Chain A
């Protein structure tokens, strides 16, 4: 636990921290896998069974109250969370970015984190969305030449979907198959992004959508960020909201269980209705994906938007 001689006295007195060395006197956590008390070593692995106790990125939440909320979760089948998210608010203005690391690349978790932080920082400096995604591409491409030499053979790569909300105008930009939806309180929901994926490509050529989505290649993406991405051309969409609703960004860990926009909207609405807050609704959606199998990392961000001139949404108005 600790070698500090004073610790024993402090612990006996019931203190939470040692007054002398400042270390926590709480018993070290038991291994979540084998239950060995104090089993988890400094490198995160259990000293008894060797299992990884957990990582910081396994489950993260960002709660911006009524303005926005985002949740990212490892899911059930992947050993680490290779998704990353960025959420920044100023008043009711919002910058939000979600990135999904490409599993077959090396260090995809580093790629996604790099993508969201460099594009998020660029958006904070006031650049437009395409420029911010361009900044993410530059940063992610650089990773191949840094760190582990295996990155050169299979360079870190990821998707990106980003949105800015300024008043009631929304801009969305993306590369890959992470998505943005507009889910109005009532009426028809809309997928704002079009996947850069094999499935989308063959559907656009006339293939049966359901069959295409069942194909093992369905999720193979045709555009991404990374050293081997070549010159990227992020697609963007802009609109001004006419009716109140929610902008929803997510990785395929969620939408893969809700491929149809109507089904997706129904789940979002159910989550918002059943839960009192944005953050708990976002958590509910992540849980939804985990209940359905949790086959991939899950990230979801919710941003309520109200047309200018209409009173912002409160829970009681629903």
Chain B
């Protein structure tokens, strides 16, 4: 695969300034043949707790799981887990992985028909079983889909300890069906496992959601891509965030690589493009000094695929140092948008309408300014936007739970800024 990494920044700093910001756009052309060169393993986890009987969820989940199995490419290893009070392997035999073929896909489909909803919810146990299955195929692109409709029933802290032990070993895309699950719980899993989280309010939409996730997974051709950030002595990385297609803070996932560098996991890659916001604190320089604030590389093991330089140049020319970089400003706004929405939702839940109105007002303004139409529309389901430009909103008295959960899960979705500005 060929990768490119391009930094967008205003490298000019006023005298005394020490904060360096840059947006690094990483683009991969994907494999020339579009095919994986290594292996891939898929695990589908379907919640089979008793509550899944409601609203025809289990029937829809069966259909969705079948649709996802149909999307698995020949040769890919896969397994199905039925999520109850423990983790039960639905297909193939316990502890084994199947190799996708017309035959095994058909067998998996029959197995799915045996999926019945009766039991509890034990997400930590489900993920642990998935981790054991993935462990059989080190080096594979490892991806799981996890569907649930409720709260985790395990003792407090168990899920966290499982996530700490399996974080970074595979990717998990989480979907919640209905409105009786917790966004914060699934977001915790998605964040730790570099995946996505979304609501599927109507069971009928599950099939499309599963197909979309599995198709995207099949498009990945590299398993474990990392962002390596080198910084000079006396400089520190304040944060590394993915900011497009969605906001994800990677700062805490740093693994030291020598004295001056750290690696941040980016998960699996296909032909795609993502943007990262890198913020570095450096010692101040004198007028005319130029410093390399960060050397940002896209790496896979010892292979460096692409590199980009983040620079700092100190100047007493205010015309240069006050220039606003469009990319940095745009994504700073998008990250604030996500944080503001989540703060607004929390305030509303806590009954603090004043704070909620302020937060949603600011969010409406940010979404409007940045042209994030999708987020504007989601906000409009929770508040009446009277004037987006000034951020004047009124809380709606009745808000559908599904709408608020959709706003919450999708608040991290960002839009790209026009280039060359």
Question: Could you list which residues of chain A lie within 8 angstroms of chain B, going by C-beta atoms?
Answer: 34, 43, 45-52, 74-80, 103-104, 149-150, 152-153
Contacts and interface: CB of A to CB of B under 8 A. Distances in A.
A74 B317 CA distance: 15
A76 B288 contact: yes
6 contacts: A43-B295, A51-B232, A76-B287, A77-B316, A79-B289, A104-B319
A217 to B, nearest CB: 12
Interface stretch (B163-171, B212-220, B307-315, B344-352): B307-315
B282 interface: yes
Given A149-B419, A149-B420, A152-B420, A79 B233 contact: no
A52 B290 contact: yes
A49 B420 contact: no
A153 B421 contact: yes
Contacts of B231: 50
Contacts of A49: 232-234, 291
Given A77-B316, A149-B420, A152-B420, A48 B289 contact: no
A52 B288 contact: no
A74 B289 CA distance: 11
B320 A103 contact: yes
Contacts of A46: 232, 292
Contacts of B285: 51
Contacts of B282: 50
Contacts of B313: 79
The 9 closest A-B pairs by CB, nearest first: A50-B232, A149-B420, A45-B292, A52-B290, A50-B292, A79-B290, A79-B313, A50-B291, A79-B288
B292 A43 contact: yes
B90 to A, nearest CB: 51
A293 B420 CA distance: 36
Nearest to A45: B292
B146 interface: no
Interface in B278-318: 282, 285, 287-293, 295, 309, 313-317
Contact of B233 (A48, A74, A103): A48
B292 A52 contact: yes
A153 B420 contact: yes
A103 B293 contact: no
Contact of A43 (B233, B234, B260, B309): B309
B378 interface: no
A153 to B, nearest CB: 6
A52 B309 CA distance: 12
Contacts, number: 63
Given A43-B292, A103-B319, A149-B420, 11 more contacts: A49-B291, A50-B291, A51-B285, A52-B289, A52-B291, A76-B287, A76-B288, A77-B288, A79-B313, A79-B314, A150-B420
Nearest to A36: B233
Contacts of A150: 420
B235 interface: yes
A6 B420 CA distance: 50
A48 B291 CA distance: 11
B210 to A, nearest CB: 39
A50 B235 contact: yes
A105 to B, nearest CB: 11
A47 to B, nearest CB: 8
Nearest to B317: A103
**Residue in B235, B317, B319 whose Cβ sees the most chain A Cβ within 10 Å:** B317
A150 B420 CA distance: 5
Nearest to B287: A77
B117 to A, nearest CB: 54
A51 B316 contact: no
A178 B381 CA distance: 61
A52 B289 CA distance: 8
**Residue in A46, A79, A80 whose Cβ sees the most chain B Cβ within 10 Å:** A79
Interface in B131-174: none
A64 B203 CA distance: 83
A11 B381 CA distance: 74
Nearest to B234: A49
A256 to B, nearest CB: 15
Nearest to A44: B292
B89 to A, nearest CB: 51
Contacts of A103: 317, 319-320
Contacts of A74: 288
Nearest to A154: B323
Nearest to B420: A149
Interface in B216-254: 231-235
A104 B320 contact: yes
A164 to B, nearest CB: 34
B63 to A, nearest CB: 46
Contact of A79 (B232, B293, B315, B419): B315
Given A43-B309, A79-B314, A51 B233 contact: no
Contact of B290 (A47, A75, A80): A80
B138 to A, nearest CB: 31
Contacts of B293: 50
Contacts of B314: 79
A46 B231 CA distance: 11
Nearest to A75: B288
Nearest to A52: B290
